[in-house]
Structures are given as C-alpha cells and as structure tokens.
C-alpha cells in the first residue's frame, strides 16, 4: 500500500488534526514504514501458531467477587455541599 498526500490529509481530517507541509512529509514517511512492517509480518507462516489468548499462563487471578458492606445513602449525602433526599445536586453545565 502506498501512502500519499491524499491519504495523509484524509487521516488528518478524520482525526481533526492540522499539519504543515513538513509535518505531512514526516507523517507520510512514518505511515509508510508502519505499513511496510505490517506487510512484512504478513509474509510469516502462522498456520501452526496457536492464538495467544493471555500473555501469561495464569488463569483467573482476580479476587473472589463478594458483597461487602457499603455506606448508606444518608452517609454519602451527609457532607455533600448540595443535595436532595436522594441525590447530589451539581451545577448545570449543559445549556440548551
């Protein structure tokens, strides 16, 4: 795959980025090197390689999921600067 100025501009537009001409040249080179690397990896025969599902042999290293006591709603709202009986009150930030 060939990386050209049109592709770099399309990617910049999608990412909402702006580049000057020098940056576009550098990015085009970087993208071309990345694509060349991936194409080189595609040349490898991976037909007998098992998929890697986990990076280690460890299985289920998470703690046991158990219910633990938590604070009550009243305790949570006790130190709130502004609250109703059930909710925290926060300043409105979205204006219509």
Q: What is the dihedral of CA 17, 21, 25, 30, to 10 degrees?
A: -20
Is a pLDDT exceeding 80 seen at residue 60?
Answer: no
Is a pLDDT exceeding 90 seen at residue 73?
Answer: no
Is a pLDDT exceeding 90 seen at residue 91?
Answer: no
CATH number corresponding to 5-41: 1.10.20
- What contacts 50, CB < 8 A, 6 or more positions away? none
| Every domain of the chain and the residues it spans | 5-41
Tens digit of each residue's pLDDT (9 = 90 or more) over 1-58: 788 999 999 999 999 999 999 999 999 999 999 999 999 988 999 889 888 887 877 7
pLDDT at 18: 94
Please report the beta strands in the chain, taking only residues with DSSP state E, as ranges in sequence order: none
Q: Does residue 80 contact residue 67 with C-beta atoms inside 8 Å?
A: no
- DSSP class of residue 82 equals S
Going from the C-alpha of 88 to that of each of 4, 5, 15, 46, 77, the distances in angstroms are 53, 51, 36, 55, 7
Hey, is 83 helix, strand or coil?
strand
Euclidean distance between the first and the last CA atom of the chain, given in angstroms as a whole number: 46
Q: pLDDT: is 8 or 61 the higher one?
A: 8
């Amino acid at each position: 795959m060939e990386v050209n100025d049109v592709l770099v501009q399309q990617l910049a537009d999608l990412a909402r980025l702006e580049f000057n001409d020098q940056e576009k040249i550098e990015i085009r080179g970087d993208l071309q090197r990345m694509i060349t690397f991936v194409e080189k990896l595609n040349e490898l025969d991976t037909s007998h390689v098992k998929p890697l599902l986990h990076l280690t042999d460890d299985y289920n290293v998470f703690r046991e999921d158990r219910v633990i006591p938590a604070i009550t709603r009243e305790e949570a709202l006790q130190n709130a600067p502004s609250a109703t009986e059930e909710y925290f009150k926060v300043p409105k930030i979205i204006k219509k």
